[in-house]
Amino acid sequence: MAFSKFGLSPAILEGVKAMGYVDPTPIQLRAIPLIVAGKDVIGSAQTGTGKTAAFALPILSKLGEHSQATRVLILEPTRELAAQVETAVRDFARFTNLRVAVIFGGVGYGKQMDALRTGIDILVATPGRLLDHIEKGTCKLDKVEHLVLDEADRMLDMGFLPDVRRIVERCPRKRQTSLFSATIPPQIETLIKWAMHEPETIEIGARRTPAETVKHVIYPVAEDQKSDLLRALLDRVNYDSVIIFCRTKHRADRIAGLLKKNNHAVAVLHSNRTQREREEALAGFRNGRYEVLVATDIAARGLDIADVSHVINYDVPQHPEDYIHRIGRTGRAEAVGDAFTLMVAEDSQHVYSIERFISQKIARIKLEDFTYNYTALFEEGKPGQPKGYERKVKGVRLSGGYFFGPARRKKR
Ligand code: AMP
């Protein structure tokens, strides 16, 4: 089915065409007709599925012409995501006279106030800074017709739910509300009951399935060889751009320093960096100046970074959902990508949880020509092992065994 069948306005269809979208993604197929019909929608599609267009296209289409009042409010958990969604909305709306602005913390108020004064149709914002503007009287939400709560589970994780509630209370009761969340924990369930009206729920694929285009593998390794293995991987893998996830800001800085010493062009993204540094890192990574981006989870959540060929989990994520989010950076919108996870002995429980979560065993791989120190992980699944790797994940028998890879060598 083509976009033209949704009943979107001609100007928005033109915007879609200019973006180069030909076929709607599954979430777009399901969400657009519901939002066009005026329904409240809960979308539990993972990031990279095209969810921004799924809510933005029908909403923009309904707005029609520019008016002085803010009729659309899109809440995002991080400034990077807010900036990214604003850019997407601006792109979709480029053949309309609708005005878009973005509001987030960490930067001055001046430009944001100027933008708000000019009359904004669509506001993309993070909760804290938006509340500041509301309290200063520089922003009003009493004309909001469409409210989008994006990445709601991450807003919960970051402690923003009380702010979100205060913001929702400022919006008119009569409105259309959409909520997107990879998972629906009880607090989000409560928010849904309170903020939404007879919502329709859309689940795209299993909520827990990583993008099918991602090939993911685990590299077991002894703790003291992690950084050596990472460097060896980067040397041998034929990557275009790679994001490396670390557990802490400190580890991210350390790994970035190490790779810089090895002549990699590296950018770092974590919450201790200034807004300017983060923007520079992202812009440089997007335009190819940096081939490697080292990031923590919060900083990188949901960011749309095109053409990431590889994701490397330098540290195993502590929460299975984060695994899905991290590897969602690659294999986005049908492109093929690889995701590698370095695993040390203490990670075993986390890895089992991830495998249970995604109902899939992740292959263990050893890097060819790399001299490994011994780790008990190499004993997994061998017959007679007392704490072997023989487990069942939803009926899938897990056994050990390694193969060597990756076969592809770096060409450049
Ligand atoms: P999102 O999940 O909204 O962050 O989108 C992920 C990526 O998919 C973005 O780069 C979008 O521009 C792209 N995208 C979204 N919808 C489509 C579509 N129908 N066809 C091709 N690419 C798309």
Per-residue pLDDT tens for 252-302? 999 999 999 988 999 998 888 888 888 888 888 888 889 999 998 766 666
- Total structural domains in the chain? 2
For residue 217, give the 3-state DSSP assignment. strand
- Closest by Cα among 97, 144, 153, 95 to 124: 144
54 and 180 part of one domain: yes
Asked whether residue 395 is domain-assigned, the answer is no
pLDDT for 312: 93
- Which residue's alpha carbon is nearest to atom 14 within ligand 1? 50
Q: Is the CB of 48 under 6 A from ligand 1?
A: yes
Could you tell me what percent of the chain has a pLDDT over 70?
A: 84
CATH number of 260's domain: 3.40.50.300
For the chain, give the number of residues: 412
Asked whether residue 399 is domain-assigned, the answer is no
Average pLDDT score over residue span 313-331: 79
Cα 180 to Cα 32, 45, 115, 357, distances in angstroms: 14, 7, 27, 20
- Closest by Cα among 70, 167, 182 to 120: 70
Amino acid at 77: P
pLDDT for 307: 63
pLDDT tops 90 at residue 153 = no
199 and 240 part of one domain: no
Choosing from 19, 29, 47, 334 the residue with most ligand 1 atoms within 8 A of its CB, the one to mutate for a pocket test is 19
Q: Which helix (H) or strand (E) holds 402?
A: strand 402-405
Cα 319 to Cα 83, 160, 297, 347, 383, distances in angstroms: 26, 19, 11, 12, 30
Average pLDDT score over residue span 103-129: 94
pTM of the predicted model as reported, rounded to 2 decimal places: 0.63
pLDDT in tens, 356-388: 877 778 888 888 888 888 877 877 655 444 343
175 and 322 part of one domain: no
Average pLDDT score over residue span 186-194: 92
pLDDT for 388: 35
Sign of CA dihedral 323, 326, 329, 330: negative
For residue 113, give the 3-state DSSP assignment. helix
* Mean pLDDT, the chain, whole residue set: 84
Q: How far is the CA of 13 from the centre of ligand 1 (A)?
A: 15
pLDDT tops 80 at residue 46 = no
Cα 366 to Cα 23, 121, 232, distances in angstroms: 39, 54, 11
Q: Is the CB of 329 under 6 A from ligand 1?
A: no
pLDDT for 49: 78
Domain that includes residue 158, residue range: 3-204
Average pLDDT score over residue span 77-96: 94
Q: Give the chain's radius of gyration (CA, Å).
A: 22
Q: How many CB atoms lie within 10 A of CB 216?
A: 22
- List, in order, residues 6 or more apart from 238 with CB less than 8 Å away: 408, 409, 410, 411
pLDDT for 241: 84
Last residue of a domain, one of 176, 204, 232: 204
Asked whether residue 304 is domain-assigned, the answer is yes
pLDDT in tens, 386-404: 343 333 333 333 334 444 4
Please give the structure tokens belonging to residue 155.
């807003």
Least reliable range by pLDDT among 173-182, 194-203, 309-318: 309-318
Asked whether residue 269 is domain-assigned, the answer is yes
pLDDT for 363: 86
Average pLDDT score over residue span 158-182: 94
Rounded-to-integer distance, Cα 368 and Cα 158, Å: 41
Choosing from 3, 12, 49 the residue with most ligand 1 atoms within 8 A of its CB, the one to mutate for a pocket test is 49
For residue 42, give the 3-state DSSP assignment. strand
